[in-house]
Structure 1
Amino acid sequence: MLGNFPSGVAVIAARDEEGPAGFACQSFSSLSLDPPLVLFLVGRASASWPRIARAGAFCATVLGGEQGGLCRAFAVSGADKFAGVAHTPAPVTGSPLLAGGTAWADCVIRAVHTGGDHLIVVGRIEALGTTGDGEPLVFHRGRFRELRAPEGPGSGSARAG
């Protein structure tokens, strides 16, 4: 059932004493506007999470439609995920902000809750931005998809029935 629910993809990244660490994430979401909070889920067995937790901060880069390969590189464990990946320090935390994404949020970790075999991580947004007009990377039924605008009469509007 959940494979039928399309999701955007972000890379959650931080910098600790060993350098940059990060992972691909399909569960990045807005939580609150006041205060400005986001959340993501991470597997309790994640090799990247302990480093991000120690850093106490992260930057979430929402990946662009052409970044499927980058997403797959950040989905593996044990590799140097940042090899050849262009990134700059996020403005407040210095966490890696990846090039080519459609949006980003520079955050400090506010809370971590247990949720079964995952952790629910809440971050407070310290800075955010968009980086262009490109389409986001969308994952649905095990594949990356493109967003398409509806065509025909009534496209672009919704009616309640």
Structure 2
Amino acid sequence: MNNDEPGARIHSTDPFAVPDAGKSPVRRLRGRFAAPVTIWTTPGPSGLTVSSTVVADGDPGRILGLIDEESDFWDAAAQAGRFAVVPLTPADRQLADRFAGLMPSPGGLFAIGEWQETPYGPVPAGAATWAGCRLESNRECGWALLVEGVIESTTFPGDAAPLVHYRGRYTELT
């Protein structure tokens, strides 16, 4: 297809992405930090892709994440008081996009793939790692809520390389 012809085109980049010149300096700085791609799920179920996640060691250990206050996930997590956090792998790119609302999800977020029910929320049946967390607190932080959870349970049935978000794209460690 010639670029001058009308019709659908496949782009090598996100055609809706804001160019660097249109982003605030803070957003440009954030984009230069590699971040793990995770999904957070709750009983109900509900879920959300989250790449602004930090694990803090201690007694008890804690997990912190920036969550969209208007997301269905936040409503469900606030009601349930608990959630699961699953680090994704390079094989989970479509799952990440589905939970981010970037890809259609006919039948709902959990209609595709196999899921294991847990007291904290569903996790993908083949997840290499996941944590069950009790909601501890939240507060406004920039554009989002800073959500803090106490890690009550960890599961490590396998080991897999992480999916990473860097400069607006998924990548993996090599």
The question of a shared fold, defined as TM-score above 0.5 by the shorter chain, is answered with yes
1:101 aligns with 2:127: yes
Q: CA deviation at 1:35?
A: 1.6
CA distance in 2, matches of 1:141, 1:36: 29
Contact 2:46 2:72 (8 Å CA) reproduced: no
Contact 2:129 2:159 (8 Å CA) reproduced: no
Match of 2:88 in 1: 63
Q: CA deviation at 1:115?
A: 1.1
**Which aligned pairs between 1:11-160 and structure 2 lie closer than 5 A?**
11-15=39-43, 19-76=44-101, 79=105, 80-90=108-118, 93-148=119-174
CA distance in 2, matches of 1:31, 1:133: 20
Q: CA deviation at 1:94?
A: 4.2
Query: Which 10-residue stretch deviates more, 31-40 or 61-70?
Result: 31-40
- Deviation track 1:126-160 (CA, whole Å, cap 9, x = no partner) reads 11022322211111112211211xxxxxxxxxxxx
- Deviation track 1:48-86 (CA, whole Å, cap 9, x = no partner) reads 211121011000011112100100000008951111232
- Deviation track 1:71-126 (CA, whole Å, cap 9, x = no partner) reads 00000089511112321122xx3411223333111011011112132111111111
Query: Which 10-residue stretch deviates more, 93-102 or 6-15?
Result: 93-102
Q: For the structure 1 residues 58 and 94, does the alpha-carbon distance in structure 2 shift closer, same or farther, using more than 3 Å as the test?
A: closer
Structure 1 moving runs of 4+ over 3 Å: none
Contact 1:39 1:122 (8 Å CA) reproduced: yes
CA distance in 2, matches of 1:127, 1:71: 23
TM-score between both structures, scaled by the size of structure 1? 0.81
Structure with the largest fraction of helix:
2
Larger Rg: 2
Contact 1:11 1:74 (8 Å CA) reproduced: yes
TM-score between both structures, scaled by the size of structure 2? 0.75
Contact 1:12 1:58 (8 Å CA) reproduced: yes
Q: CA deviation at 1:13?
A: 0.3
Q: For the structure 1 residues 85 and 52, does the alpha-carbon distance in structure 2 shift closer, same or farther, using more than 3 Å as the test?
A: farther
Aligned residue-pair number: 143
Q: CA deviation at 1:3?
A: 1.2
Structure with the largest fraction of strand:
1
The share of aligned pairs that are identical, in percent, is 31
Output the amino acid matched with 1:49: W
